[in-house]
Amino acid sequence: MSWPLQTHPYGEHAPVLPPMENRDFDHAALDRSTRLGLYRRLQELRQLEKRAYDLFMRNLVKGTSHLSLGMEAISAGFGAAMRPDDYTFATYRGHAHTLSRGVPMAPVLAELMGRANGLLGGKGGSMHLTSVEHGVLGSYAIIGAHLVIANGAALSAQLRGSGQVTVCFFGDGTTNIGAFHEALNFAAVYSLPVVFVCENNHYMEYTPIGDITAVPRPAADRAAAYGLASRTVDGNDVDAVHLAAQELLAQARAGEGPSLIEAVTYRHGGHSRADPGKYRPDKEVRAWLDYDPITLYRGRLGRLGVPAAELDAIDREVAAAVDEATEIARNGAEPDIASALTDVWADGGSSWRN
Amino acid sequence: MAELTYRAAVARGIAQEMDRDERVLLIGEDVAGAGGVFKTTPGLLERFGPRRVIDTPIAEQAILGAAMGAAMTGLRPIAEIMFADFFAVTWDIVVNQIAKTRYMTNGQVTLPLVIKTGNGGNLRFGAQHSQSIENWAMAVPGLKVVTPSTPRDVVGLMAAAVRSDDPVLFFEHKGMYASKADVPDGEIVDALGTSVIRRPGTDATVLALGLMVPRALEAAEMLASEGIDLEVIDVRSLVPLDTRTILESVSRTGRLFTVEENPQLLGWGAELVAIASDEVFWDLDAPPVRITTPHVPLPSAAALEDSVIPGVERIVQTIRKRLV
Ligand SMILES: Cc1ncc(C[n+]2csc(CCOP(=O)(O)OP(=O)(O)O)c2C)c(N)n1
């Protein structure tokens, strides 16, 4: 498979994408219901984030938000490969990672809208989605911080002998921060059950990663320096990601230590709410919009004999679920002001004196 | 009852808690094989094994990240940052992650972890290895802050810190590691948020922390011979803060002095003076006075370091001038 995108420092980016008719994974060992589950998940992530965008535009979601439209195959592929008690560490671009662990849509939307029935009662917001119950141990808005924290969860699982694996998602830009390097060495030294997943969407905020990074694969090219096995995967092909995830999770669970995977992908929109993403060449954006993970997957499912009507039905079911979640979120009460002063401490309060 | 050094008390306190609760583990640079650069953790590796006493790379973010992740998932780690100054390297994990996570997650995530560190001056280590940083920590919602001044309190407050379900920054005064005192046998457990009246008195309240406690006590003895009767309170815990004991004392004596090793701007003494002014102003007979390090990084030479960190002589002179 050719790399989905070749970048040249300080020059034009030349998308060299695999053909839409990429049949590499048509005959992978995945049954029909797994594939339909993956398809449904892709739709959920896509439709919920589109809804989040609409709500933004209608000023019902405030603050900022970072969407992963176009990148859904990575979290969907991993989420479906994880055990319910495994741990996810996500970034501020974490809606998809959170939903992929089975967190319901309504509390996520309600959190974005700052409602009392939000996942965090309105105290977290878009960038901090957390659901301990689903193994989502947080979304972190400081670049790189969560890689070292993910190690701690993995260390704890190892010491407790629980067999849990920690999956830690981060962006290509994150690979240039110190904590990335501390985290990889640390994970390798103690042979921790952690899988680092770099979602290489080719940009940090506004700067192409290729312009400011000395190696072509910012994560995968560096992993070996720390003693980690690494690989690169087509991050728009949900089957490819899912199969890789199954393998890496199994290795970690079997005590074979940490690994790193670089999933190559692209975000359809800008970095955050306010960003139209105009710094990207039209040709590049167009090529990637065509190479959409959902279009790609529908093509494969069609070749495998799944009727389009069946997929359309899934799309409609998801749309209804997103509508319903939106209503629940919109009807949520404003948070009780008193809750601003709770839960600094384990006793539930914020008092610092007697 | 046995005489113990402050440094040996650290190991005893940790051992007491590791013995009691197998979820407690110790992680940091040189803490296992070497027994700590200040020899505060010798024998723990032999006793509890390499799974619970873990030597790490020089990677302060990785150490505290590991402690945080472990605390989120059911363990009760004690992490060491060798010198308090190095907290600056970890400030993201401490301030943005450890301190805020419980709040941001609406109480979903609890972080029962301790970060122990060698804090303070008096060892001529120069500006990057001598600073007292309790005031940095105190300014951040979500962190608990303690500084023991006796070997007994090291054990008791370490136990309290480990048993706390909240993150505790445990500031050992590295200038006191060699000091010795009697420590009772058996399990010792203190409560966070309790200050201790080390010397009862009637003429003024002196608040001190860490190395400043013995200095304040010595100053009080000298002034006692001149007929001035000082009450010296070892604050011990800045967050949570025992305002009850402190304000009750200030009301009784009518005068307040704070003695601290922090630079003067925004030291903890400023906060305590503000609280006293707010709440017991009409009981005060004179403006409160802060005795602090001037607004300088700590110098290395003995003569210079001694000139900036409050010493017994400066404490005596300041208080005498104000009271007489
Ligand atoms: C320590 C730190 N520096 C800078 C930022 C501001 N910032 C937020 S997102 C971002 C880009 C991160 O890029 P990448 O890791 O590739 O993730 P992506 O947004 O592409 O998913 C930056 C610089 C931050 N949040 N934290």
| Residue identifier of the C-alpha nearest atom 25 of ligand 1 | A142
Q: Where are the beta strands (DSSP E) in chain B?
A: 2-5, 24-28, 53-55, 76-83, 114-119, 144-146, 168-173, 180-183, 196-199, 204-208, 230-234, 237-239, 256-263, 289-293
Tell me the per-residue pLDDT of A205-262, one tens digit each, with 9 for 90 and over. Answer: 999 999 999 999 999 999 999 999 999 999 999 999 999 999 999 999 999 999 999 9
- Which of B251, B224, B73 is closest to A136 using CA atoms? B73
Asked if A148's CB is within 8 angstroms of B64's CB, the reply is yes
Interface of A with B in 164-183 (CB under 8 A): 166, 178-179, 182-183
Tell me the per-residue pLDDT of B225-248, one tens digit each, with 9 for 90 and over. Answer: 999 999 999 999 999 999 999 999
Give the number of the atom of ligand 1 that is nearest the alpha carbon of residue A205. Answer: 11
Is A288 in CB contact (< 8 Å) with chain B? no
Residue-level pLDDT at A12: 52
Q: Are B272 and B245 in contact (CB under 8 A)?
A: no
Count, residues in chain B: 324
Ligand 1 centroid to Cα of residue A212, in Å, is 14
Distance from C-alpha of B251 to C-alpha of B55, rounded to nearest angstrom: 49
**CB contacts < 8 Å between A and B, how many?**
157
Provide the shortest C-alpha distance from residue B168 to chain A (in Å): 11
Sign of CA dihedral A209, A215, A216, A222: negative
In chain B, the residue whose alpha carbon lies closest to the alpha carbon of A341 is: B103
Residue A12, in any domain of the structure: no
Q: How many CA atoms lie within 13 A of A2 on its CB side?
A: 11
Q: Considering chain B, what percentage of its residues have pLDDT values greater than 70?
A: 100
Q: Are B53 and B25 in contact (CB under 8 A)?
A: yes
Provide the shortest C-alpha distance from residue A302 to chain B (in Å): 42
Q: Give the pocket of ligand 1 (CB within 6 Å).
A: A 91, 93, 141-143, 170-174, 199, 201, 203-205, 271
- Which of B153, B151, B152, B169 is closest to B161 using CA atoms? B169
Q: Considering chain A, what percentage of its residues have pLDDT values greater than 70?
A: 96
- On chain B, the residues whose CB falls within 8 A of the CB of A138 are 101, 105, 109
- On chain A, the residues whose CB falls within 8 A of the CB of B105 are 120, 123-124, 128, 130, 132, 138
Asked if B65's CB is within 8 angstroms of A148's CB, the reply is yes
Ligand 1 centroid to Cα of residue A330, in Å, is 30
Domain range for A235: 32-331
Asked if B62's CB is within 8 angstroms of A186's CB, the reply is yes
Residue A282, in any domain of the structure: yes
Residues 6 or more apart whose CB falls under 8 angstroms from that of A31 comprise none
Give the number of the atom of ligand 1 that is nearest the alpha carbon of residue A66. Answer: 19
* Residue that the structure tokens 């659901």 belong to: A131
Ligand 1 centroid to Cα of residue A210, in Å, is 15
Asked if B239's CB is within 8 angstroms of A132's CB, the reply is no
What's the number of domains chain A is made of?
1
Interface test with A, best of B94, B106, B245 (most A CBs within 10 A): B106
Ligand 1 centroid to Cα of residue B261, in Å, is 38
- On chain A, the residues whose CB falls within 8 A of the CB of B75 are 156, 159-160
Average the pLDDT over B204-217 and give the result: 98
CA distances in angstroms from A331 to A57, A106, A116, A324, B292, listed in the order given: 18, 11, 10, 11, 55
Residue-level pLDDT at A273: 85
Tell me the per-residue pLDDT of B136-178, one tens digit each, with 9 for 90 and over. Answer: 999 999 999 999 999 999 999 999 999 999 999 999 999 999 9
Q: How confident is the model at residue A13 (pLDDT cuts 50, 70, 90)?
A: low
Residue A24, in any domain of the structure: no
In chain B, the residue whose alpha carbon lies closest to the alpha carbon of A157 is: B73
Q: Considering chain A, what percentage of its residues have pLDDT values greater than 90?
A: 91
Tokens of A333: 């009460």
Active-site residue numbers of B?
Answer: 129
Residue A143, in any domain of the structure: yes
- Nearest 10 degrees: CA dihedral of A37, A38, A39, A41? 90
* Bridge partner list, B99: none
Q: Taking each helix axis as running N to C, give the angle between helix A32-57 and helix A72-79, from 0 to 180 degrees, rounded to the nearest 10.
A: 130
Give the DSSP per-residue string, A321-349.
HHHHHHHHHHTSPPPPGGGGGS-SSTTS-
Tell me the pLDDT of chain B averaged across its residues: 97
Residues 6 or more apart whose CB falls under 8 angstroms from that of A345 comprise A351, B102, B142, B165, B166
Structural domains for chain B: 2-183 (3.40.50.970), 196-323 (3.40.50.920)
Sign of CA dihedral B147, B150, B151, B152: negative
Which candidate from A130, A145, A156 shows the least CB-CB separation from B109? A130
DSSP helix/strand/coil, A221: helix
Q: What is the ipTM of this complex?
A: 0.94
Provide the shortest C-alpha distance from residue A169 to chain B (in Å): 15
Give the number of the atom of ligand 1 that is nearest the alpha carbon of residue A204. Answer: 13
Ligand 1 centroid to Cα of residue A91, in Å, is 9
Distance from C-alpha of A335 to C-alpha of A119, rounded to nearest angstrom: 12
Q: Are A99 and A136 in contact (CB under 8 A)?
A: no
Residue A221, in any domain of the structure: yes
Distance from C-alpha of A175 to C-alpha of A189, rounded to nearest angstrom: 19
Q: How confident is the model at residue A6 (pLDDT cuts 50, 70, 90)?
A: low
Residue A80, in any domain of the structure: yes
Distance from C-alpha of A230 to C-alpha of A246, rounded to nearest angstrom: 15
Asked if B242's CB is within 8 angstroms of A145's CB, the reply is no
* Bridge partner list, A353: B241
Provide the shortest C-alpha distance from residue A129 to chain B (in Å): 8
Q: How confident is the model at residue A197 (pLDDT cuts 50, 70, 90)?
A: very high
Residue A295, in any domain of the structure: yes
Provide the shortest C-alpha distance from residue B178 to chain A (in Å): 32
CATH assignment of the domain containing A108: 3.40.50.970
Residue-level pLDDT at B62: 98
Distance from C-alpha of B41 to C-alpha of A144, rounded to nearest angstrom: 31
Distance from C-alpha of A118 to C-alpha of A39, rounded to nearest angstrom: 26
Residue A142, in any domain of the structure: yes
Tell me the per-residue pLDDT of B298-318, one tens digit each, with 9 for 90 and over. Answer: 999 999 999 999 999 999 999
Average the pLDDT over B128-136 and give the result: 96
Tell me the per-residue pLDDT of A90-120, one tens digit each, with 9 for 90 and over. Answer: 999 999 999 999 999 999 999 999 999 999 9
Is A143 in CB contact (< 8 Å) with chain B? no
